[in-house]
Chains A and B, each alone.
Chain A
Amino acid sequence: MNPPRPRNSLKHSNYLFLLPAFLFYLIFVLYPLSDTIYTSFTQWSGIGEKTWVGLENYKNNLSDKKITSSIKHSFILIIFYSFFPIIIGLGIAGMMVRIKVKGMAIYRAILFLPQILSMVVVGIAWRWIYAPKGPLNSGLDFFGLTEVSRAWLGSFDYALPFVGLIGTWVMFGFTMILFIAGVQKIPSELYDAAKVDGAGAFAEFFNVTLPGLKGEIIVALVFTVTLALRNFDLIYITTGGGPGTSTMIPSMFIYKKAFQMNQVGSASSLGVMLTLLIFTLISLIIITLREKR
């Protein structure tokens, strides 16, 4: 038995230490959240009384083609924001198992750069790259591919994947750094054992590296999927949801409905749906990946 720990007798006053932080959290996070949930069951234009309509807003959202397709767009963006960067990061990390690269600190600083910038700045930089007379089209012209060049973000077919590629650009350095740091924490005995068993590079990757990076993969998935589903800033700056509704995402609809169309109840219900979607996906990621351990 351990000797009894000296304890504070004034237990109730211990809560005072929590009070300021919880007051802020309660007033500016928990209250707005519950208020949004309540409003989501009402019809409200922003002025006057809220009219209780039950699940009406949710039903309307699910039967509104524009909204369901905006959710579909979010899932397409997950491919670009999560899937591509994670594949790139894993590929590079898998190669880096036994190599120590000189100047890694500089590479890391550069690769991390997109993470620190305002999405407004990132969006403006890429808007220029994709502009009709921007670098991408100039490059295509240079190689004689003039007929390929176009206003990328103004195209119904290309706007969504090209916005997605911005997400890949923002995220791939982060996943690389995360996974390379993770690989270096895997005990080298595991790799030696794999070598003794005669494992090739692929077997080594799938039997040692990939399981060893499980924690980092969960982190990367949660982080990138959340950003892909929210993503308001980038869409607002680059396409505003257009052309048409080809790059509309739920958070853009929430903004438009609440602050331009005065459909506050409906916007709130979409906010609740987005939150539930994010919570569900995060739980799924954590549960499915943890259990295989």
Chain B
Amino acid sequence: MKHSDREKLIAHSLFILGSFIVLYPFFSILFLALSEPGTRVSGFTIPTGIYFDNFVKAWTDGGFSTGLFSSFVVVVGVVSITILCSIPAAYAFEKLDILGVAPLFAILLVGLVLPYESLIISLYYSMRKFGLDSTYWSLILPQIGLSIPFSIFWLRSSFRSIPISLSEAAMLEGAGRITILIKILLPQIIPAILTLTVLLFMWTWNEFLLALIMIQDPEMRTAPLALSYFAGNKRYGDPAITAAAAIWVALPVLIIYIFLQRRFISGMVTGVEK
């Protein structure tokens, strides 16, 4: 008994140490952002008071109201279209008779590990050719393409866990494929779709390289892109304001994470495992 108590104590101290290491950078920039404007913060002290001036200045000077709006538009576009296209595809892969399932699926798998870096150059010139650069479409369309492999992968394994007898019964009663999908199978995988929504939201929100290349118009910048310009701009060299700006950008994902953290974690852990 004593022995396991000591083990538990060691385990707890390791987890607390790990949590401290993870949280330290967060609190470090939070304290910095909340510090009195103009004072020199050392970064090793707890602030004397709480000032929201840096948050206000970051919001008004950094254009984050438009940044958050742009990100929101892109996220809604990518997540909704990706899921709408992936559901029928995953259904066909898992439940319908299709010749060449294996090779088609293998082609999709390539997209799971393909780095953006191998696509962005061509994507940029194509978008320019069609006059789509510096539009939301230049961010939405490629990210749909790149999100589809994971989404189909994820949804297909969710369909797999539904017993075949369920759809067979409906089929014998003469229900069509679309009826079976919408009325019988979809209600079964709503939790999986929710988790997928959360993951796609997070990945799209955080995407940076594509926005950096496609968006030249400051009014169209996504939140992470606006943040990078803000942080790189010498005029706002004040680290406290940059810290406040970083918190603005992180906040939407953080809030959702606080409420849905189980979905994030189980989604990422099982998602990459699949």
Give the interface of A toward B (CB within 8 A).
5-8, 11, 14-15, 17-18, 20-22, 24-25, 27-33, 35-36, 39, 46, 92, 95-96, 98-99, 101, 104, 107-122, 124-129, 131, 133-139, 141-142, 169, 172-174, 176-178, 181, 215-216, 219, 222-223, 226, 229-230, 232-233, 236-237, 250-251, 254-255, 258-259, 264, 267-268, 271-272, 274-275, 278-279, 282
Residues of B contacting A174 in the complex (Cβ-Cβ under 8 angstroms)? 268
Given A119-B206, A219-B273, 6 more pairs with CB closer than 8 A: A14-B177, A92-B18, A113-B23, A117-B206, A124-B227, A215-B273
For the complex, give the distance between the alpha carbons of A166 and B4 in Å.
Answer: 34
User: Once the chains bind, are A254 and B117 in contact (CB under 8 Å)?
Assistant: yes
Which chain B residues numbered 245 to 274 have a C-beta less than 8 Å away from chain A? 245-246, 249-250, 253-254, 257, 261, 264-265, 268-269, 272-273
A36: contacting residue among B28, B119, B144, B246, CB under 8 A: B119
Query: Given that A114-B22, A133-B40, A226-B113 are known contacts, is A120 also in contact with B249, CB under 8 Å in the complex?
Result: yes
B18: contacting residue among A96, A172, A251, CB under 8 A: A172
Residues of A contacting B118 in the complex (Cβ-Cβ under 8 angstroms)? 32-33, 36, 271-272, 274-275
User: Once the chains bind, are A111 and B19 in contact (CB under 8 Å)?
Assistant: yes
Query: Given that A29-B114, A230-B115 are known contacts, is A138 also in contact with B269, CB under 8 Å in the complex?
Result: no
Sample 28 A-B pairs with CB under 8 A, ordered by A number.
A5-B168, A6-B172, A11-B99, A14-B96, A17-B92, A18-B88, A20-B84, A27-B145, A28-B141, A28-B145, A29-B111, A29-B142, A29-B148, A32-B123, A36-B122, A92-B18, A95-B14, A98-B4, A99-B8, A125-B28, A126-B25, A128-B28, A128-B43, A172-B18, A222-B113, A223-B272, A274-B118, A279-B113
For the complex, give the distance between the alpha carbons of A134 and B42 in Å.
Answer: 6
User: Once the chains bind, are B11 and A95 in contact (CB under 8 Å)?
Assistant: yes
User: Once the chains bind, are B18 and A116 in contact (CB under 8 Å)?
Assistant: no
Query: Given that A6-B172, A39-B121 are known contacts, is A11 also in contact with B15, CB under 8 Å in the complex?
Result: no
User: Once the chains bind, are B117 and A110 in contact (CB under 8 Å)?
Assistant: no
User: Once the chains bind, are B26 and A25 in contact (CB under 8 Å)?
Assistant: no
Residues of A contacting B145 in the complex (Cβ-Cβ under 8 angstroms)? 24-25, 27-29
Residues of A contacting B14 in the complex (Cβ-Cβ under 8 angstroms)? 92, 95
Residues of B contacting A267 in the complex (Cβ-Cβ under 8 angstroms)? 121
For the complex, give the distance between the alpha carbons of A137 and B42 in Å.
Answer: 9
For the complex, give the distance between the alpha carbons of A230 and B115 in Å.
Answer: 7
User: Once the chains bind, are B228 and A120 in contact (CB under 8 Å)?
Assistant: yes
Query: Given that A121-B250, A124-B231, A138-B44 are known contacts, is A233 also in contact with B208, CB under 8 Å in the complex?
Result: yes
Number of interface residues of B (CB under 8 A): 97
Residues of A contacting B243 in the complex (Cβ-Cβ under 8 angstroms)? 124-125, 128
User: Once the chains bind, are B7 and A99 in contact (CB under 8 Å)?
Assistant: yes
For the complex, give the distance between the alpha carbons of A59 and B88 in Å.
Answer: 45
Residues of A contacting B121 in the complex (Cβ-Cβ under 8 angstroms)? 32, 36, 39, 254, 258, 264, 267-268, 271
Chain B residue at minimum C-beta to C-beta distance from A5? B168
For the complex, give the distance between the alpha carbons of A101 and B245 in Å.
Answer: 37
User: Once the chains bind, are B28 and A135 in contact (CB under 8 Å)?
Assistant: yes
User: Once the chains bind, are B22 and A15 in contact (CB under 8 Å)?
Assistant: no
Nearest chain B CB to A15's CB is how many angstroms away?
Answer: 7
Chain B residue at minimum C-beta to C-beta distance from A233? B208
Query: Given that A21-B86, A118-B205, A121-B227 are known contacts, is A99 also in contact with B4, CB under 8 Å in the complex?
Result: yes
User: Once the chains bind, are A129 and B28 in contact (CB under 8 Å)?
Assistant: yes
Which 6 pairs from chain A and chain B are nearest by CB?
A28-B145, A138-B44, A17-B92, A135-B43, A32-B122, A21-B89
For the complex, give the distance between the alpha carbons of A278 and B141 in Å.
Answer: 24
Nearest chain B CB to A245's CB is how many angstroms away?
Answer: 18
Contact residues of A: prevailing secondary structure: helix
For the complex, give the distance between the alpha carbons of A72 and B8 in Å.
Answer: 41
For the complex, give the distance between the alpha carbons of A90 and B104 in Å.
Answer: 36
For the complex, give the distance between the alpha carbons of A73 and B261 in Å.
Answer: 34
Residues of B contacting A139 in the complex (Cβ-Cβ under 8 angstroms)? 44
User: Once the chains bind, are A29 and B177 in contact (CB under 8 Å)?
Assistant: no
Query: Given that A107-B19, A108-B265, A138-B42 are known contacts, is A118 also in contact with B224, CB under 8 Å in the complex?
Result: yes
Nearest chain B CB to A22's CB is how many angstroms away?
Answer: 7
User: Once the chains bind, are A33 and B104 in contact (CB under 8 Å)?
Assistant: no
User: Once the chains bind, are A116 and B257 in contact (CB under 8 Å)?
Assistant: yes
User: Once the chains bind, are A259 and B213 in contact (CB under 8 Å)?
Assistant: yes
Chain A residue at minimum C-beta to C-beta distance from B169? A6
Chain A residue at minimum C-beta to C-beta distance from B104? A18
User: Once the chains bind, are B97 and A11 in contact (CB under 8 Å)?
Assistant: yes
Residue B98 at the chain A interface, CB threshold 8 Å: yes
Residues of B contacting A254 in the complex (Cβ-Cβ under 8 angstroms)? 117, 120-121
